[in-house]
Amino acid sequence: MIDSILDKMTLEEQVSLLSGADFWTTVAVERLGVPKIKVTDGPNGARGAGSLVAGVKATCFPVAIALGASWNPDLVKQMGVALARQAKSKGAAVLLAPTVNIHRSGLNGRNFECYSEDPMLTAELAVAYIEGVQGEGIAATIKHFAGNESEIERQTMSSDIDERTLREIYLPPFEQAVRRAGVMAVMSSYNRLNGTYTSEHHWLLTKVLREEWGFDGIVMSDWFGSHSTAETINAGLDLEMPGPARDRGEKLVAAVREGKVEAATVRTAARRMLRLLERVGAFKSKPDLTERAIDLPEDRALIRRLGAEGAVLLKNDGILPLAKPSLDRIAVIGPNADSARVMGGGSAQIAAHYTVSPLEGIRAALSNANSISHAVGCRHNRLIDVFKGKIAVEYFKGRGCKGDPLHIETVDKGEFFWFELPSEELDPADFSARMKMHFTPEESGEHAFGMTNAGLARLFVDGRLTVDGREGWTRGENYFGTANDEQRGAVPLEAGRSYEITVEYEPSMASEEGINLIAVRFGVEKPLGEADIESAVETARNAEVALLFVGRDGEWDTEGLDLPDMRLPGRQKELIEKVAAANPNTIVVLQTGGPIEMPWLGKVRAVLQMWYPGQELGNAVADVLFGDAEPGGRLSQTFPKALTDNSAITGDPAVYPGQDGHVRYAEGVFVGYRHHDTRAVGPLFPFGFGLSYTRFRWSEPQLSATEMSSEGVTVRVDLTNIGDRPGSELVQLYVSSPRAKVERPNKELRAFAKLSLQPGETGTATLKITPRDLAYFDIETGAFLAESGTYQLIVAANATDVRSIIDLPSPSNYLLPTSY
């Protein structure tokens, strides 16, 4: 059928398939019955075509690092199935997920959106995720291919990575997604790889992806991430996104006419696009692009379970789990206590059906809600608190908010990120909007107003210009680098008095790099000070237990910028230390998208890392704190003692964050625990670490063979739960190699198994390795090489907790081509 359609297509029609129609859909060719299909952002929810911050409600699942900490591919596959169902509810046939870039520095703004520092763990989870999604007829899109481990100058930066490091660390998750999961789509990254944009990198997109790995799906650009016509199509980029066409369309037709692109190359790319439509069933029934909100009880239960499964208990001197009946006075404190920090920022954002804050979850879990006291203590927000309340919005044709409004609507949040305007008569490049609202402060005193805008905007309080986002506008770090840094103004306000706030907005005339976004965000807050910290301390002093909810949020952990350091922002360190001094029973609950430094660790009794676990956050954290669920997580990323212990943080800006448009991956394969182990840099918490509420007995490992063969070797370890509670244990199998021609890490993860056992129950962890698991990438031969010699199989509970070491002879050399 596909060839028949292609034979009837003109060159122009074939070319039309190779660019989006708009931000989220492909081009239809109605003459030949070729429908359009919709794509939607993941990876922790299916948003649909709406705004990043509004639109049709969607189910919010845990972020990827929380899934990585679960070490549970089966549960991740179930989430993939649920996400496919959510994608269908948004009329989408393609989910733009999973993200499988590696945790290199710990400062990547999208660290939360990636699974792990280890390629093997990342690959296992990605394969499970893709199988879940695609098993339901929705295409998954693995991203970002490749070398996108930082958000700094991401649209132009060259990630300079040697081939061995690429093959061993950064490419395996993509390779396994192709070979094992049959992923239908790959998204190229923004950055350059060794000097060439990945969207026009022939070696990456054609030689490696298609010829070596056998990929037969489509390659799409990241949004506005393609920069040429002939170069991209000749390299193997099929789909330019978003639409309408920028470097395709008439330019590509002309390139064919001029002989810069073969007509057969266009036909091949068009065939791949048609094959994608066929695979998602678009030819069998015309896709319904209608968007609906479905909030299912089974999804709620899965999210709650995933939240506990990925929760990592980092410290516990016996205070956890808390016994509900014995708690008369409990203090719930911190900037994340009464706010539901359920997701990171950027394109992963969705408008969740609902969110449950930790304070709400704890109140629901305890029968005596009066025993709970609450204090904020301090703030950690990077941006002023967004305005929440009734906002009347008027849209006008042209600039300056002149004449009668073309459209009027009412919203409840002071953040607008328009992919589509509310009327087709409004031109995204030539419109204006006026937002009006009223604010009545609860306390008198100076209040801070803040605004950031991709476009031009001004904020007035009772008619007085308070924040100017127009004069002197310059690009900053917000909205993927298309908006200014937040501008602020201070105004003294009286408690109980109503103030009128007006914001006037219009788009910019032009933007750099072809990225045109229209967005504005504004808010107001009364700054917190010393009295608020002292109030939190007093609240803690009068309680039996102090629960401190600290960390970051989606303003810090976000696409578009990296973190400045690994410290808790704001005055949170001070808050922790003062609360711990006032109450010896202090428990810290962390929400971050990656590692942080913990100078206060010795002053608290327990630390629980909850990440951003989706809309059931409060219920999941209450489940773990009160022992209704096991803290099932184990770290998928090493937590260093200090930022400078990370292998990418050398003090050389060329290594991180980059210099003169290049970032050099000088650490090579020594990423994460590979660095800490081999260079003897002790971590704060090692890769794979996590405590349980129960205890396990490990048997000695049993091997299926006494030496390596082409069939591989299976290792079995019996575990028995010798505690009085159900729980889970993680068995990790590392390989340590004999001396080789190149320096190799002390050990590398090659298999794992997670067992959930009832008290007294015994289970068997089964782990298999093959010659490829012994190998490194040999530059001279261009293949994976496992040299003969005696290897060590290291059975461990985490990267520093080794339980058994077994010698495994490998009598033969194994040379494994990349295209085997």
Q: Which residues belong to the active site?
A: 222
Q: CB of 301 within 8 A of CB of 59?
A: no
Q: Give burial (CB, 10 Å; 0-12/13-18/19+) of 807.
A: exposed
Cα→Cα distances 451→381, 400, 507, Å: 14, 18, 15
Q: CB of 210 within 8 A of CB of 236?
A: yes
| Secondary structure letter of residue 221 according to DSSP | P
CA dihedral 699, 700, 703, 706 (to 10 degrees): -170
Cα→Cα distances 592→189, 312, 339, 558, 611, Å: 24, 12, 14, 11, 5
- DSSP run (H or E) holding 769: strand 762-769
Residues contacting 216, CB < 8 A, separation 6+? 210, 272, 275
Joined tokens for residue 655: 């290594």
Strands annotated E in 528-595: 545-551, 586-591
Residues contacting 534, CB < 8 A, separation 6+? none
Residue 404: how many other CB atoms lie within 10 Å: 8
Q: CB of 617 within 8 A of CB of 358?
A: yes
- Report residue 772: phi and psi, to 5°: -60, -30
Residues contacting 370, CB < 8 A, separation 6+? none
Q: Identify residue 773 by its one-letter amino acid code.
A: D
Give 3-state DSSP helix, strand, coil % of the chain, rounded to 5: 25, 30, 50
In the numeric block, the tokens 């090659």 are attached to 750
Q: CB of 497 within 8 A of CB of 457?
A: no
Residue in 760, 447, 600, 552 with CA at minimum distance from that of residue 111: 552
Long-range contacts of 805-809 (CB under 8 A, 24+ apart): 806/701, 806/703, 806/715, 808/703, 808/707, 808/708, 808/713, 809/706, 809/707, 809/708
Rounded CA-CA distance 635/643 in Å is 17
- DSSP run (H or E) holding 749: strand 748-757
Residues contacting 812, CB < 8 A, separation 6+? 708, 788
Rounded CA-CA distance 3/7 in Å is 6
How many residues in total does the chain contain?
820
Which neighbouring-strand residues pair with 34? 29
In the numeric block, the tokens 């042209």 are attached to 398
Indicate if the alpha-carbon torsion angle 807, 808, 812, 814 is positive or negative. Answer: negative
Residues contacting 390, CB < 8 A, separation 6+? 410, 412, 437, 438
Residue in 596, 544, 604 with CA at minimum distance from that of residue 575: 604
What angle do helix axes 73-89 and 119-134 make, rounded to 10 degrees? Answer: 40
Residue in 143, 136, 129, 141 with CA at minimum distance from that of residue 76: 129
Residue in 329, 325, 330 with CA at minimum distance from that of residue 367: 325
